[in-house]
Every structure is written in structure tokens, then in C-alpha cells.
Amino acid sequence: MTPDAHPEFPLDPALCYLNHAAVAPWPRRTAEAVAGFAHQNLHRGAADYPQWLETEQQLRTLAGRLLGGAAAQDIALLKNTSEGLSLIAQGLPWQAGDNIVSFAAEFPSNRIVWQALADQGVTLRLADHRAADPEAALIGLCDSATRLISVSSVQYADGFRIDLHRLGAFCRQRDILFCVDAIQGLGALPFDAAAVNADFVVADGHKWMLGPEGLALFYTRPEARQRLRLRQYGWRMVEHAGDYDRSDWRPAASARRFECGSPNMLGVHALAASLALLLDTGLEQVAERITSRTEHLIEAIRAAPRLSLITDPDPERRSGIVTFAVADQAPQAVHAELMRHGVICAQRGGGIRLSPHFYTPDSVLDQAMAAITDIVASNTIPTNGEANVRSR
């Protein structure tokens, strides 16, 4: 562990971990929570199941705080972001001629679910988030047949931050449903579901929330929740879950109606511990530290020869993601070389995506940038043309 490392993150000092926009490492307390849960299962089985349910309720409460004070009853715990978006897409009552508006560069999860409605006569209209006024470009695609706007709070490839307040206000004025894929912002930037007039918010826990894969938060505004037809059924989504002898049933009034079966209790214990760390640290402080680290990377990239910034440098548009390109060099080859040197990052958006978190030491940023500049200066990376030939 490096001298300035955070005690919750004893990462291998040989690694520069800058990949929180993909899969984040767990905090120490999360690993300990999982180990404790496993130990309890080993020795006591489900004898303490009521305690597990308390942890589950605690997770909903913590998630509500992360969402700006949302009620625990408005939050469902799902498998992933794609499941939440699919529940919306398959649950709303569409009519032929309806349309949905989004951005062209959205992650496939926030595109395919809407495109799959084509057989019902529903179309997906896509705006360019790199337009001079992206919110205006998106709003300009809306008309009287627009039923939903679905956008990411932060674009996954280049970290572009959308003005959710502006879009949410427009949706509320026009009676258009507003869906936010918050996976690239929740846990990194302050978020208030009510303030942005979100009807639906979906976010998996394994990125900026520092949790495990396989567990996502699904917020639904109560009025909007009633508009979703249920497509999945089971013992847990009913109002009187646990009353197994009851022959009549109705869906739970809360967001639990979207949880059809047994919960991911292992994931519940893990994500509860991770969210507790973020909230103990303070969401504003987390955001300030991430902003400081992305500013550090942006300045270093701008100063480095042959590197060009893809991420928008405007402070109002930045997030925890910094993406850059290397002149005349294929991003696939650059990425492979960086990973070989222990710089854990991703290839996205035509370049290299770096994504530090609040705990990432400045020394790790400097070490990563040194590796990047050394690799670029070595001229050992194939050019775009050479990489294309080799890929064939």
C-alpha cells in the first residue's frame, strides 16, 4: 500500500486503478461484510434471517439518502441497470406512433430496450450530446407523440454530464416521463431524484457506488410506478409477502412490487457497507475529491505531447471520467500496453478512459501519467493503420 493510500482501499501498489467507471474495487469494510455474511452462513445458516432483512432495509434507507432523500419504499433492489430499464420499457402502455427520445452515444442498455419496442410501432429518436446545446437538441426531437425521455446522467464513454434539471423541468411541463440511467454518476456526484423531476432512476452498484455486480437500485416516483404494468410475478412482489397460506394477492404498493423472488442477500450486505462508506465520507466531499482528481488528469493530458482530450473540459460538463486519444495510435493497442504496465483503465469513445475515485492518491495519477507518456514516447504502439492490418 502506498504511503498516501486510503485505509479502506489496500490496492496492489503495482496497479494504478483508474477504472471505476467499469468495475470498482471493494472497500475493506465491504469485503469484511461479505466475509462475515459467509461465516454466518457457514455456522448458523439462515437462523439470523431477520437480521438480514434489517440490513436490506438499511440498504434501502442508505440508497434513499444517495438519491437525495428518496423514501425507502420507492426503491427496489434489482439485478442490474438493464433489468430496471427493461421493466420500464415492457411495463409502459405503448401505442403505435409513440416515440422515445435519447442520445445516440448512450450505453447499449439504454438503447436496446427502447429499440426492442419497434414491433409495437414505437420509435427511438436520438440526439447528439456533443451538439452546441445538447439539451436543446434533445428537446427539439420531442413532439406530441413523445412519451419518454431516457438519458444517462453521465455519458459512459467521455464523461459528459447532462443538465438533468433542465430536461426534467421540460418533461414535467409536457407530461413526458423522465428516466435517468445514473450508473455513471451515482456515488460520484450529488444527485437528487425529486429535484430533477425523475420518474425513474436506475443504477447498478458495481461502479461509483463501490459495490458488487448483480445488485442495482431502481427508484420510481409513486405516481409513475402505478403506470408500469407488471411483467414478473412471484412470492415477494405481493403486498403480504411471507403470508404463504393466503390465496388472494395484490402487488405491493411500494417499489418492492418489482422484486418478484428471493433477494440477493450477499449483494445486499456488500452494497450496504459500500454506501455507508460514501455517506460517512460525505457526498459533497466525495464529489469535490473526484473533481480535483479529474482536473489533475486533464491538466496533465493537456500538457503531454501527442495526447488530446476527448472529455469536455467545461467544469459544468465534467464528471469522474477523463477520456483522451493518442495521435496516430490505435486506442486498442494503447489500452493493451497500459494494462500490461498496470494502468487499469478502459478503451471507450475512440480513446482511453480514466476514472479515479475520491480515495485515489495523486501519486497514482502521476504514476499513470508517467506510464502513459513513456509508452507514447517509446513509439512501440502500432499506428491506426498497422492495428487495422493486424486485426484482420
- Please give the pLDDT value at position 392: 28
Pairing of strands 177-181, 200-204: parallel
- Please give the pLDDT value at position 378: 83
Let me know if 309 is exposed, middle or buried by CB neighbors in 10 A (0-12, 13-18, 19+).
middle
Q: Going from the first residue of the chain to its last (392 residues), give the mean pLDDT of each consecutive group of 10, the final group possibly shorter.
A: 84 97 98 98 97 98 98 98 98 98 98 98 98 98 98 98 98 98 98 98 98 98 97 96 95 97 97 98 98 98 97 96 95 96 97 98 97 87 50 29
DSSP three-state, residue 20: coil
Summary count for the chain: helices (H), strands (E): 12, 13
- Please give the pLDDT value at position 316: 95
This prediction has a pTM of 0.94
- Say which residue the cell 482501499 belongs to: 9
- Please give the pLDDT value at position 149: 98
Give the single-character DSSP code of 8. Answer: T
Sign of CA dihedral 258, 198, 288, 322: positive
Whole-angstrom Cα distance, residue 223 to residue 286?
32
- Please give the pLDDT value at position 384: 58
DSSP lists the bridge partners of residue 307 as 326
CB 271 within 8 A of CB 187: no
Whole-angstrom Cα distance, residue 346 to residue 339?
9
Whole-angstrom Cα distance, residue 343 to residue 15?
6
